[in-house]
Amino acid sequence: MAASISNTLISLSKTHEATFRSSTQTRLFSTPPSSLTQNQKSTIKLIARNNSSFSSIGELEREQQQQHEAMHHISRKANSERLPDVWREIHGENDWAGLLDPMDPTLRQELIRYGEMAQACYDAFDFDPFSKYCGSCRFTRRNFFSSLGMSHHGYNVTRYLYATANINLPNFFKQSRWSKMWSKHANWAGYVAVSDDTTTHRLGRRDITIAWRGTVTHLEWVADLMDFLKPISSNSIPCPDQTVKVESGFLELYTDKEQNCGYCKYSAREQILSEVKRLLDMYSNEELSITITGHSLGSALAILSAYDIVETGLNVMGDSRAVPVCVLSFSGPRVGNVRFKERLETLGVKVLRVVNVHDVVPKSPGFLFNEQSPPSVMKLAEALPWSYSHVGVELALDHKNSPFLNPNADAVCAHNLEALLHLLDGYHGKGQRFVLASGRDPALVNKACDFLKDHYLVPPNWRQDENKGMIRGKDGRWIQPERPKLDDHPEDMHHHLSQLGLASSDI
């Protein structure tokens, strides 16, 4: 009989069952069974009695699964309870020293949580060229997380981000085939969100999160890059060193605008800085953090915006407190040269890059000259416009370590964000067995790719809108429904830009 995903959480497959059972107590949980309190043991029994979701497996396996889930419940609770005391370490205060190998369970939990916030950009984006709303977000700002079933994350979206489609990145920008469309120049590019009061208490600080949309269905966008470094200061981003350079396509995407478009009359840069300024002012009396996340091209934009926030001094409060800025990057490319890397380090921007070692995107641009080249070669190539260097700390994962995934899947699968979150869930350290730590559903991997082994019976690319969004009207005919107009820019945006010295008289 073909193995199901639910069965696999216990047995993986018949060849992995013994491995799973022997490793569960020693590697899977941060709280070993022998150290459980009486209340925790009672919690296990209570959850076990109430859980009957795995009717297709034997009684012994059912009991093991119930205890497995109960232990997860306690482990997640324990990790959350320690977060207010260790959030600065999790946020990169010490460059994640001692947290990656072995993998700290709280860090893993937080990486998956922010990765899901990046994944939300894909899940909410309208990719359908036969929709007049192609290139937009499918949900209104106020209903964003609830529409995605993510209300439990405890964040409120405060504004949407838009980028102009004038840049030559056709695999990032999507447009409708219909002449009547929501915008001819704009694409939805992500969002800014802030933790609500309950989540703020759990995190130990008020967290401002910026999530950038990336590229998920094609790798051709790498070829779209101009692969040409230019000074970051050439696009009006402050920098005291003219030798600090970044890839020109990323820079244009971040700073370009279209005066004739309501959504793009402000650049993505202006949208980010004004909103972060507004939120920092609003919560100035609280402990704060700024966390920026993104996948693929979104990772490059996350690093650029983190640099910008700190270089402009926007994160420095009136009482001279510096709000920590951290980037949690997933499958991101190189962004700039070695001078850019050094400048980020000087400014104190913390970057943790999670990558799949088989993914080609983190290896670009800079195929010839990069941080892995001998120092003598990099010294000679420093002035060349093709010399790149990764920033921050890297957490390298390998999809061939997962018993769930097809090791010979195509290259696009290796770049998939859901697959990367799956790898995070099973990673415990170098050389350690792959064992899922949170029970995150492996079926999510195949949401937008074909990566799971066939015997798990999960169809590829299974996530889709019912009837491609068509509904039956009152007259019985099938139509594309109208959507509420998306928010463009807040009324006080010009005010905040003026305070930053960025206001333009022609807007």
Just list the catalytic residues.
296, 359, 415
Alpha carbon 44 to chain centroid, angstroms? 32
CA distances for 390 relative to 90, 99, 312, 335, angstroms: 21, 20, 22, 7
d(CA 156, CA 144): 8
- Per DSSP, helices labelled H in 103-229 are 105-124, 144-147, 197-203, 221-224
Distant-in-sequence contacts of 255-259, Cβ < 8 A, 24+ apart? 256/163, 256/164, 256/166, 256/167, 257/164, 258/164, 258/166, 258/185, 258/186, 259/506, 259/507
Q: Which of 168, 167, 165 is nearest to 187 (CA)?
A: 165
d(CA 440, CA 424): 10
Residue partners of 181: CB distance under 8 A and separation at least 6: 132, 133, 134, 135, 175
**Residues 346, 435 contacting (CB under 8 angstroms):** no
Residue partners of 248: CB distance under 8 A and separation at least 6: 226, 228, 229, 230
Alpha carbon 323 to chain centroid, angstroms? 21
Q: Which of 117, 94, 110 is nearest to 192 (CA)?
A: 117
d(CA 495, CA 273): 12
Whole-number CA gyration radius for the chain = 23
Distance spanning both ends of the chain, measured CA to CA? 65
Residue 356: enclosing H or E segment and its boundaries? strand 350-356
* Residue-wise DSSP of 404-464: TB-TT--HHHHT-HHHHHHHHHH--STT-----SS---GGGGGGSS--B-GGG---TT---
**Residues 291, 215 contacting (CB under 8 angstroms):** no
- Per DSSP, helices labelled H in 236-324 are 248-255, 268-282, 297-311
In the numeric block, which tokens belong to residue 347? 């400014």
